[in-house]
A and B are shown apart, each in its own frame.
Chain A
């Protein structure tokens, strides 16, 4: 990877992070009428996916699509305006957040319904095959969506119809306020996919450079073999906080699902949110000197401030 590309990825991650911080600040002020799912901690996988996409690729997202849409669009204002439901929004204020698409950048469908989008992806991949299109369909789900029957049905169809596709499962361990172990038995996706003879890859560690390398290779395999691949990526959705109540004087743990998060403040930018690999900025920062990282952070801050002012 060239130094130029190396920096571009870092800029992308910083842009998605700061974009979300600004959206969160507006959200805290009560300036949105629509429900929004922030995706702090999802920046690396979103930037990696966006960077491996080619012109003919199609991306199909879920309700927590913010990081991907920010990464694909490359600027905040059209998305911010969309959330404000303004005519100047990315989709003229007609889509809001959970269903936000961006057809000119390959994002053709986003569903607010768990597991709904997998089968639309199969249809899209079938259309690409029929039209002899040199593109791959990428579809995003979470660890909650793999519990839906449509996940299994769609994998079966992907495989049976010999379609190229990348099924990306973001495993953040939670479905709203319920941990996996609180709601179901463990599901070993690798073993499950083995039974379908579908290639499985696990991504962990939030290193966008490592992700890009692996995902590029998987994209190539899928395209060449006309087979789907499934990628399970461990993410931590940051933004949790502790709520003090008489019952919990030290604060009750609140997992972040949707809405504004009080635990992330723009005053702390560009500080990392969590001092470990759960925070993509912590991981990315290791590639740069502190001064260089600060300089890049400031550049992104100036760029976005100018854009939205």
Chain B
């Protein structure tokens, strides 16, 4: 099944079972329904679907206003960069809410933007770092990258007391959704997932780089290497203990972060590991941006797994 179909099915299930829920956003029940994200949604009689005005800033405030008055809602958004217009609310309004009785509200507000990370989208695709939005006010945020995290995160976060942002990758829409064989570990918050365990090397993926990490894992495995594969789904996880414990065994770390922003979330993990452990090998795979990075160009991150394998053997 395609990535977007799988996520759409999960959303359909959650919203159909909810009471008193408002779904809103531009074209969420019209046209392509945000490329299939919100296709065929149906809600209970006391819930509503609103094809909204093109008013991103006010739609963010609208959701917070609903939340403050005990009504849950989801704001589906076609592009993450549209959320730039709502930053005032993400910082100021959310901070006020966190300082009032509303912090204990049982109502839910979720903003669900699509991260436009297809390089051919040009300037707007330069904003592919989901962590940028979450870090500005320590907002809970979660990326969705495969079958397992999609099920866990959508069932636990889409409609849940409080506010958060969930995001998916546009680049993956038409790809077959990755289906890891097993879930080795996830923390209580579903912000860190571990899919395989191996003593030779620890691979940690950030932002939407899980497909790269999964591919690297498969290739290293074929070459006889046992890999621990982690994905960090939230830019503000509660702690790195599980990952550090794993690296302490393997002594070899590969970090992959496909963000184009200067301020990448993986730096926090790398710093802490370097403070606590002496590594035999550290490979950090980040974006190397060419001069035309704001133009419509292919920006697929290519990882040379054979070269990495040889480096790990050194």
A122 at the interface (CB under 8 A from B): yes
Contacts A116-B92, A118-B61, A150-B61; is A123 near B53 (CB within 8 Å)?
no
* Chain B interface helix/strand/loop/mixed: helix
Question: Which parts of B61-110 form the interface with A (CB within 8 Å)?
Answer: 61-71, 88-89, 92-93, 96, 99-101
In the bound assembly, the distance between CA atoms of A111 and B65 in angstroms comes to 12
Contact A116 B66 (CB under 8 A): no
Q: Which residue of B lies closest to A130 (CB)?
A: B71
Q: Which residues of B contact A113 (CB under 8 A)?
A: 88, 92
CB-based contact A119/B65 at 8 Å: yes
Given contacts A130-B71, A156-B53, contact A99 B58 (CB under 8 A): no
Shortest distance between the CB of B177 and any CB in chain A (Å): 34
B-side contacts of A130, CB under 8 Å: 20, 22, 46, 48, 71
Residue among B52, B63, B68 making CB contact with A109, cutoff 8 Å: B68
Whether A120 contacts B53 in the complex (CB less than 8 A), given A111-B92, A157-B58, comes out as no
Q: Tell me whether A126 and B22 are in contact (CB under 8 A).
A: yes
Give the distance to chain B from A241, nearest Cβ to Cβ, in Å: 31
Contact yes or no, B63 A123, CB < 8 A:
yes
Let me know if A153 is at the binding interface, CB within 8 A: yes
Give the Cβ gap from A297 to chain B, nearest Cβ, in Å. Answer: 36
SS class, residues of chain A in contact with chain B: helix
- B90 to chain A minimum Cβ distance, whole angstroms, is 11
CB-CB under 8 A from B52, the residues of chain A are: 157
The residues of A that contact B60 with a CB separation of less than 8 Å are 119
B187 sits at the interface (CB 8 A):
no
- The answer to whether the Cβ of B23 comes within 8 Å of any Cβ in the partner chain is no
Q: Chain A residues with Cβ under 8 A from B65's Cβ?
A: 109, 119-127
Question: Are B62 and A122 interface neighbours, CB within 8 A?
Answer: yes
Q: Are B89 and A116 in contact (CB under 8 A)?
A: yes
Range for the number of chain B residues in contact with chain A: 20 to 34
How many chain A residues touch the partner (CB < 8 A)?
Answer: 34
Contacting pair A149 B57 (CB below 8 A): yes
Whether A157 contacts B88 by the Cβ 8 Å rule is: no
With both chains docked as a complex, state the minimum distance between the C-beta of B44 and any C-beta of chain A, in angstroms. Answer: 13
Cα distance, A120 to B71, chains bound together (Å): 13
Residues 90-118 of A at the B interface (beta carbon under 8 Å): 94-95, 99, 101, 103, 108-109, 111-113, 116-118
- A125: nearest chain-B partner, CB-CB: B65
Inter-chain contact B93/A116, CB cutoff 8 Å: yes
B residues in contact with A126, CB < 8 Å: 22, 62, 65-66, 71
Please name the residue on chain A nearest to B86 by beta carbon. Answer: A119
Q: What is the CB-to-nearest-CB distance from B30 to chain A, in angstroms, rounded to a whole number?
A: 15
Residues of A within 8 A of B63 (CB): 123
Q: Which of A58, A111, A122 contacts B58 (CB 8 A)?
A: A122
CA distance A122 to B58 in the complex (A): 8
Asked if A127 and B66 sit within 8 Å, CB to CB, the answer is: yes
B158 within 8 A of A: no
Measured CB to CB, the nearest residue on chain B to A127 is B69
Is A161 in the interface zone, CB < 8 Å from B? yes
CA distance A248 to B215 in the complex (A): 74
The winner among A95, A116, A154, A161 for most chain B CB atoms within 10 A is: A116
Q: CB distance A119 to B58 under 8 Å?
A: yes
B62, A157: Cβ atoms under 8 Å?
A: yes
**Does A55 sit at the interface, judged by CB under 8 A?**
no
* In-complex Cβ contact of B53 among A108, A128, A160 (8 A): A160
Judged by a CB distance under 8 angstroms, whether B59 is at the interface is yes
Contacts of B67 in A (CB 8 A): 123
Instruction: Tell me, rounded to whole Å, the shortest Cβ–Cβ distance linking A55 to chain B.
Output: 15
- Chain A nearest CB from B24 CB (Å) reads 9
Considering residues B59, B68, B92, which has the most beta carbons from chain A within 10 angstroms of its beta carbon?
Answer: B68
Determine how close the nearest CB of chain A comes to the CB of B106; give it in whole angstroms: 13
Could you tell me the distance between the alpha carbons of A126 and B73 in the complex, rounded to whole angstroms?
Answer: 11
The A-contacting residues of B in range 94-144, CB under 8 angstroms, are 96, 99-101
Judge whether B50 is part of the interface by a CB distance below 8 angstroms: yes
Question: What are 22 contact pairs spanning A and B, CB under 8 A?
Answer: A103-B101, A108-B69, A113-B92, A116-B88, A116-B89, A119-B58, A123-B64, A123-B65, A123-B67, A124-B65, A125-B65, A126-B66, A127-B66, A127-B69, A127-B71, A130-B22, A153-B57, A154-B58, A156-B55, A157-B55, A157-B58, A160-B53
Taking A108-B68, A111-B96, A150-B61 as known contacts, 20 extra A-B pairs with beta carbons closer than 8 A to each other, sorted by chain A number, are: A108-B69, A109-B68, A112-B92, A116-B88, A116-B93, A119-B61, A120-B62, A120-B93, A122-B62, A123-B67, A123-B68, A126-B62, A127-B65, A127-B69, A127-B70, A131-B69, A153-B53, A153-B55, A157-B53, A161-B50
